[in-house]
Amino acid sequence: MRAPLFRGHGWKWLLCAPALTVLLLAASGPLLIVLVYSFLSPGNMGGVVWEFSTEGWFRVFFRRDIFEPDLVTWNQAHLAVFWRSIWLSLQTTLICAFLGFPTAWFIATRPPSTRTVWLFLITIPFWTNLLIRTFAIQEVIRNNGTINTVLMRLGVIDSPIQMMFTDFAVLLGMAYVFLPLMVLPLYAAMEKMDFRLVEAGYDLYASRLMVLWHVILPQVKPGFIAGSILVFIPAIGAYVTPRVLGGGRTMMLGNLIALQFGQGRNWPLGAALAMLMLVVVVGALVLYLRAVNRMEGARRG
Amino acid sequence: MKRTIALAAAALMGTTALAHAEGVVNLYNWGNYTSPELLERFTEETGITVNVTDFDSNDTALARIRQGGHGFDIVVPSDTYIQTWITEGLLQPLDPEIVTARDNIEPVFVDVPFDPGREYTVPWAWGTTGVIVDTSVFDGDINDAGLILNPPAELQGRINVIPEMSDVMALAIYYHGGERCTTDRDVLRAVRDTLLEAKPHWLALDYGAVDSYVAGDFAAGLYWNGASMRVRLQNDSFAYGYPVTGYPLWMDNAAVLADAPNRDNAMQFINFILRPENAALISNFARYSNGITGSIEYMDDVMRDAPEIDVPAELAAAGRWGQACPQDVNDIHTQIWTEVLQ
């Protein structure tokens, strides 16, 4: 039975083996370690002790009152951080979509010869380190930064507007950093768009808004979905931006996880939180795939 | 073809041999903490090159060395971590044959709780964590932890606190009259309540670049003495206070790793930084004292009589050494900290 199979397609698997091995070891290996760690006990000064424990997972959702161990409640602190991460990431995605759409539209409607230049300009920020870009934003919005200095010189305001260390600063930073990730898939979708349909829409007396809503948006929807995923996933794990622009005053998930592996010295809890974040991300991806499948189905039907 | 391979192999062996050459020592230290002049002088004197790799926290350093295969010779952990490093066998005792200048360590820093008799470590730099205040905004008594923990109206919303759990917890515990690793529930409860009430008045929990204070982003903060001095040098309305209820003392210490590949060179480097003129280079660069007798004479003028460096006699007793708390106590601290930061 085996021989013909081997002669048929089996050897192709053999050729794939190196790639598969690398994928298994490099992608699943560390993940498995994190999963295993989340079920162990915290070691002294960091690290883990090889004793099975579900305490890490328990502490993700619940907290025993520090002073009355029998009193168990929801872990408000962790839930607040979770909620803030998801909420800020969603807002970032929305802002990127809102700003990315006109940008991508602008590029897609240039003559083909100049489009490359515009695309090239969009990708330029990627050449700079994320931390540097974040510090650049800080220079713009800090109390003695560009915006405040200009506004004060012009006499618009008397004292600087506090922008640093607020949720606004985090949002601004993340939107700036992740915007290209939204523009590129949107552009890809628009480039493939059939502009004859837009003309047809006008011919049928559709207003500009109606054309946008009924003709253009449905066609670039895959771009929106892909861009949203590309923005949402790194945003939810963002560490540097909330750290620098949020001033560490309010944590996001990445910071909470880092705290457990650093000063908190509770690796199992950190590992459990990291796994939970993975679940959120996978959840978002599943929604994405469903949405894509539904669209494909609709197109066929 | 064979010849090329042989040549390539020889070249490869040549480079590896270079990495393990006799004239190298690999220093694993905090970022922006090692004076380049110190390294130059050491190389001039001994012919040994020093490679510096940075770490950003004690936990990072400990985790990396625990993994093994690091290739470092010297590490510079803080006092509270030294016992862990020693008991886990990560450090080796100093070699009295090479490290001969141990007598240069100031007597008060020899029998320290974290390394009695200085068998494993020598001082690199030490300092205090206190309160920095813009005296043009607040002109009351600045030797008060309450400026951070129960801020007066003029400082509210303009305070920055370094995001170091152990420093913040220590300050708050001392403020309520507790010991560093107290298990007294009433004290810990008071600490939590105080921190939760104080936090809305804090603008940021940031390591805070010196220039943020200079530029007026912050009017007060929990900060280190050396950094506070750098702020004052650029803006003299800032002053540094030592809370009378108690403030943390800390010391970073150089030690040789148990599996150091260049052990003898490392010992030589340790001995080198024990000489006052060399220790002064560390201080001049990092702006912290070093714990070596007589090094003050070699320090920059701005260091010598700085109120941030020279602790006032009547406030010296309030300074307390840190302590690595047992896991269960640390666990409570983490929970309080998470609640504060949420």
Mean pLDDT is highest, among B79-88, B202-211, B319-328, for B79-88
User: What is the helix (H) or strand (E) element at residue A171, kind and residue range?
Assistant: helix A167-191
Q: What residues of A are in contact with residue B332 (Cβ under 8 Å)?
A: 66
Q: What residues of B are in contact with residue A44 (Cβ under 8 Å)?
A: 84, 327
For residue A42, give the chain B residue with the closest CA. Answer: B327
How many Å is the Cα radius of gyration of chain A? 25
A44/B163 CB distance under 8 A:
no
What is the distance between the alpha carbons of residues A82 and A239, in angstroms, rounded to a whole number?
14
What is the distance between the alpha carbons of residues B274 and B276, in angstroms, rounded to a whole number?
6
Beta bridge pairs of residue B289? B126
Q: Is residue A286 scored above 60 in pLDDT?
A: yes
Q: Among partner residues A144, A247, A262, which is closest to B57 by beta-carbon distance? A: A262
How confident is residue B208, by pLDDT bands cut at 50, 70 and 90?
Answer: low
Q: Is residue A4 scored above 90 in pLDDT?
A: no
Quick check: B63 contacting A, CB < 8 Å? yes
What is the distance between the alpha carbons of residues B261 and B26, in angstroms, rounded to a whole number?
9
Q: Provide the 10 A C-beta neighbour count for residue B180.
A: 19
pLDDT at B161: 93
Superfamily for B127-249+312-341? Periplasmic binding protein-like II (3.40.190.10)
Give tens-digit pLDDT for A110-161.
998 899 999 999 888 888 888 899 989 988 998 888 999 999 999 988 888 8
Q: Is residue B341 scored above 60 in pLDDT?
A: yes
pLDDT at B278: 95
Quick check: B93 contacting A, CB < 8 Å? no
Q: Is residue A1 scored above 70 in pLDDT?
A: no
Q: What residues of B are in contact with residue A162 (Cβ under 8 Å)?
A: 203
Which residue is it, tokens 């090159």?
B49
The one-letter amino acid code at B115 reads D
Give the sign of the dihedral formed by CA B226, CA B229, CA B234, CA B238: positive
Give tens-digit pLDDT for A56-102.
999 888 888 777 777 888 888 888 888 989 999 999 999 999 999 99
Return the SS3 of B53. strand
What is the distance between the alpha carbons of residues A212 and A101, in angstroms, rounded to a whole number?
11
**Average pLDDT of every residue of chain A:** 87
What is the distance between the alpha carbons of residues B3 and A39, in angstroms, rounded to a whole number?
54
Quick check: B228 contacting A, CB < 8 Å? no
Cα–Cα distances (Å) from A145 to B81, B161, B208, in that order, read: 39, 21, 16
Q: What residues of A are in contact with residue B81 (Cβ under 8 Å)?
A: 45
How confident is residue A299, by pLDDT bands cut at 50, 70 and 90?
Answer: low
Q: Is residue B201 scored above 90 in pLDDT?
A: yes
Q: Is residue B3 scored above 70 in pLDDT?
A: no
Give tens-digit pLDDT for B30-72.
988 999 999 999 999 999 999 999 998 888 899 899 988 899 9
Count A/B contacts: CB-CB distance under 8 Å.
95
The one-letter amino acid code at B336 reads I
Choice between A259 and B168, residue whose per-residue pLDDT is larger:
B168
pLDDT at B22: 65
What is the distance between the alpha carbons of residues B257 and B240, in angstroms, rounded to a whole number?
36
Phi/psi at B95 (nearest 5 deg)? -85, 110
Q: Among partner residues A67, A81, A260, which is closest to B189 by beta-carbon distance? A: A67
Q: Is residue B7 scored above 50 in pLDDT?
A: no
Q: What is the mean pLDDT of residues B4-19?
A: 44
The one-letter amino acid code at B182 reads T
Mean pLDDT is highest, among A37-46, A278-287, B252-261, for B252-261
What is the distance between the alpha carbons of residues B341 and A76, in angstroms, rounded to a whole number?
12
pLDDT at A66: 73
Closest to A86 measured CA to CA, from A265, A296, A236, A250: A236
Q: Among partner residues A76, A81, A248, which is closest to B205 by beta-carbon distance? A: A248
pLDDT at A14: 84
Quick check: A162 contacting B, CB < 8 Å? yes
Mean pLDDT is highest, among A135-139, A289-293, B210-214, for A135-139
DSSP-assigned states of every residue in A256-301: HHHHHHTTT--HHHHHHHHHHHHHHHHHHHHHHHHHHHHHHHHHH-
**Percent of all residues in chain B with a pLDDT value above 90, rounded to a whole number:** 68
Which of A91-95, A262-266, B265-269, B271-275 has the least mean pLDDT? A262-266
**Domains of chain A (ranges plus CATH)?**
78-265+274-300 (1.10.3720.10)
Return the SS3 of B241. strand
Q: Is residue A49 scored above 90 in pLDDT?
A: no
Rounded to a whole number of angstroms, the distance from the CA of A77 to the nearest CA of chain B is 5
pLDDT at B234: 92
Q: What residues of A are in contact with residue B341 (Cβ under 8 Å)?
A: 77, 248-251, 259
Q: Provide the 10 A C-beta neighbour count for residue B178.
A: 20
**Average pLDDT of every residue of chain B:** 89
How confident is residue A300, by pLDDT bands cut at 50, 70 and 90?
Answer: low
* 8 Å CB contact between A271 and A56: yes
Q: What is the mean pLDDT of residues B295-319?
A: 90
Q: Is residue A281 scored above 60 in pLDDT?
A: yes
B177: tokens are 């009259």
CA A209 to chain centre: 30
pLDDT at B140: 93
Judge residue B128's burial from the number of C-beta atoms within 10 Å of its C-beta, 0-12 exposed, 13-18 middle, 19 or more buried.
buried
Quick check: B234 contacting A, CB < 8 Å? no
B341/A144 CB distance under 8 A:
no
How confident is residue A275, by pLDDT bands cut at 50, 70 and 90?
Answer: very high
HSE (side-chain half, CA atoms, 13 Å) at B14:
6
Provide the chain A residues 189-228 that lie in CB contact (below 8 A) with chain B. Answer: none
Rounded to a whole number of angstroms, the distance from the CA of B242 to the nearest CA of chain A is 24
User: What is the helix (H) or strand (E) element at residue B130, kind and residue range?
Assistant: strand B121-134
User: What is the helix (H) or strand (E) element at residue B295, kind and residue range?
Assistant: none
Q: How many residues are given for chain B?
A: 342
pLDDT at B47: 94
pLDDT at B113: 85
How confident is residue B9, by pLDDT bands cut at 50, 70 and 90?
Answer: very low
- Under CATH, to which class is B2-126+251-304 assigned? alpha beta
What is the distance between the alpha carbons of residues B50 and B22, in angstroms, rounded to a whole number?
11
Return the SS3 of B243. coil
Give the sign of the dihedral formed by CA B89, CA B90, CA B95, CA B99: negative
Dmax over CA atoms of chain B, in Å, equals 81
Rounded to a whole number of angstroms, the distance from the CA of A287 to the nearest CA of chain B is 28
Provide the chain B residues 143-162 that lie in CB contact (below 8 A) with chain A. Answer: 160
Choice between B100 and A250, residue whose per-residue pLDDT is larger:
B100
Q: Among partner residues A45, A249, A266, which is closest to B331 by beta-carbon distance? A: A266
Q: Is residue B17 scored above 50 in pLDDT?
A: no
Q: What is the mean pLDDT of residues A232-248?
A: 87
Q: Among partner residues A165, A259, A265, which is closest to B204 by beta-carbon distance? A: A165
Contacts of B115 (CB under 8 A, 6+ apart): B82, B86, B121, B253
Question: A50-84 burial string, b = 16+ CB within 10 Å, else e?
Answer: eeeeebbbebbeebbebeeeeeeeebebbebbbeb
Q: ipTM value of the model?
A: 0.74
Quick check: A263 contacting B, CB < 8 Å? yes
Phi/psi at B158 (nearest 5 deg)? -130, 25
Closest to B198 measured CA to CA, from B37, B336, B85: B336
Quick check: B31 contacting A, CB < 8 Å? no
What is the distance between the alpha carbons of residues B211 and B238, in angstroms, rounded to a whole number?
12
B338/A256 CB distance under 8 A:
yes
What are the sequence ranges of the domains in chain B?
A: 2-126+251-304, 127-249+312-341
Q: What residues of A are in contact with residue B204 (Cβ under 8 Å)?
A: 164-165, 247-249
B334/A259 CB distance under 8 A:
yes
Mean pLDDT is highest, among A106-110, A289-293, B329-333, for A106-110
Q: Is residue B209 scored above 80 in pLDDT?
A: no
pLDDT at A102: 94
How confident is residue B284, by pLDDT bands cut at 50, 70 and 90?
Answer: very high
How confident is residue A166, by pLDDT bands cut at 50, 70 and 90?
Answer: confident
Quick check: A236 contacting B, CB < 8 Å? no
B216: tokens are 């007026």
Rounded to a whole number of angstroms, the distance from the CA of B206 to the nearest CA of chain A is 5
Phi/psi at B162 (nearest 5 deg)? -65, 135
How confident is residue B18, by pLDDT bands cut at 50, 70 and 90?
Answer: very low
Return the SS3 of B140. coil
First-to-last C-alpha distance (Å) of chain A? 42
Cα–Cα distances (Å) from A122 to A62, A115, A148, B85, B197, in that order, read: 44, 11, 27, 49, 45
Q: What is the mean pLDDT of residues A30-51?
A: 88
Rounded to a whole number of angstroms, the distance from the CA of A134 to the nearest CA of chain B is 15
Rounded to a whole number of angstroms, the distance from the CA of B275 to the nearest CA of chain A is 33
B281: tokens are 């280079």
Closest to B302 measured CA to CA, from B232, B237, B251, B239: B232
pLDDT at B6: 45
SS3 string, B169-188, reads: HHHHHHHCCCCCCCCCHHHH
pLDDT at A11: 78
Candidates B218, B338, B339, partner chain A, best to mutate (most A CBs within 10 A): B338
How confident is residue A242, by pLDDT bands cut at 50, 70 and 90?
Answer: confident
How confident is residue B155, by pLDDT bands cut at 50, 70 and 90?
Answer: very high
How confident is residue A44, by pLDDT bands cut at 50, 70 and 90?
Answer: confident
B334/A77 CB distance under 8 A:
no
Q: What angle, 0 to 180 degrees and rounded to 10, lies between the N-to-C axes of helices B327-341 and B165-175?
A: 100
Q: What is the mean pLDDT of residues A32-61?
A: 89
**Percent of all residues in chain A with a pLDDT value above 70, rounded to a whole number:** 95
Q: What is the mean pLDDT of residues B115-128?
A: 95
